[in-house]
Homo-oligomer: A and B are copies of this chain.
Amino acid sequence: MRHLLLAAAASLVLPAYAEEPAPIPSPGEIAAAAPAKDWIAIAASDLLVMDLAPDAKGKPRRVVIQLMPAPFSQGWIGNIRKLAAAHWWDGTSVNRVQDNYVVQWGDATEKKALPSGLATVPESEYVVSDPASKEMTSGGKPAMVLSKDEAARRAGRTDGDQGLDIYGSGFEPAADAYAPRVTFESGWPISLDDRNLPGQRWPLHCYGMVGVGRNMSPDTGSGAELYVVIGQAPRHLDRNIALVGRVVHGIEHLSSLPRGTGGLGFYETEAERAPIMSIRAATELPVAERPRFEYLSTDSESFRRYADARANRRDPFFIRPAGGADICNIPVPIRPVEAK
């Protein structure tokens, strides 16, 4: 029975010994059963391939990062593309690992010249505002956190509706502690705030998200110094630091690194740093060697069912569904595509 311990609590892993289908599917089972049309290929041009030096046992350590698409692809992402094209990170290292916070990499010497032509991006770019999003934020595509029945219950109503349709017209989007609305857009977790500016929105510091290290304001960082979230979502960083992407493969090679013993988790000696052999745009690799991934469309019915199941675990392990979920606890399903 060892494998059943906490079994159904794992989201994206199928039960180890599922001999018959569960009466109510888990979130991971819902995602795994989604039809091909609900999966969207991630463009190779949006992928970065990071190869750390092999581990102590000689095993390769590859991490793949997806850069954010428009409208979230601000100037930092252009800089990152230039840095990758210049092979700038080759020979740099992971320099900081702070438990329950971030893993950070870049040039430990702080002396390596940057490529020319990098943009200096203003702080205003931490938040996106474009007319295209107005319709979405004015009610067309509602945010989600609470299920319909839970939202109704909390609002003091008990209409007895136990339906799964959290996106139905009766659904009430919920704020969280950090923003008046949270939702998904094009496969990414975002916050919305159109009270002051139509379509104002920004990406969220969830587990696995990649951001740009910076010095004190008004510096916003170039993109040469990057970090990935490896703990409880540090949402207080939202709108304070640029987010540029997420790790879609191999985060364990970063999250399981030894924690640094210096201030803020910096490694204190050269020997502790994890060497970065290379970071490449996937498009630099031969076509057959490019990593390929898909994400579950956040506009799909499959994702709606998946998100609802995350918020209301009814698969057999659970005895009491929560009735809601933190948006960072609804990771967008991503899967590798095998070469044909």
A residues lining the B interface (CB < 8 Å)? 1-7, 9-10, 13-16, 56, 95-102, 104, 108, 110, 123, 145-146, 154, 174-178, 180, 206-208, 213-217, 225, 227, 230-241, 251-252, 255-259, 262-266, 310-311, 313, 316-326, 328-329, 331
Contact = CB atoms under 8 A, between A and B. Distances in A.
B9 A177 contact: no
Nearest to A98: B10
Contacts of A234: 9, 329
A81 to B, nearest CB: 21
A255 B108 CA distance: 24
A178 B322 contact: yes
Given A99-B251, A256-B259, 7 more contacts: A2-B95, A2-B110, A6-B264, A9-B240, A16-B264, A99-B256, A100-B255
A207 B255 contact: no
Number of copies: 2
A16 B98 CA distance: 14
A100 B174 CA distance: 25
A100 B227 CA distance: 16
B99 A240 contact: no
A177 B178 contact: no
Contacts of A97: 256
Contacts of A108: 2
A258 B2 CA distance: 19
Given A177-B176, A180-B154, A104 B233 contact: no
Contacts of A110: 1-2
Contacts of A177: 145-146, 174, 176, 311, 322, 324-326
A6 B213 contact: yes
A233 B232 contact: yes
Nearest to A327: B177
B216 A326 contact: no
Contact of A5 (B215, B252, B320, B329): B215
A208 B100 CA distance: 9
A6 B241 contact: yes
A104 B10 CA distance: 13
B4 A322 contact: no
A9 B238 CA distance: 11
Contacts of A206: 232
Nearest to A214: B5
Given A102-B6, A236-B313, A329-B236, A123 B322 contact: no
Contact of A213 (B5, B230, B241): B5
A10 B15 CA distance: 37
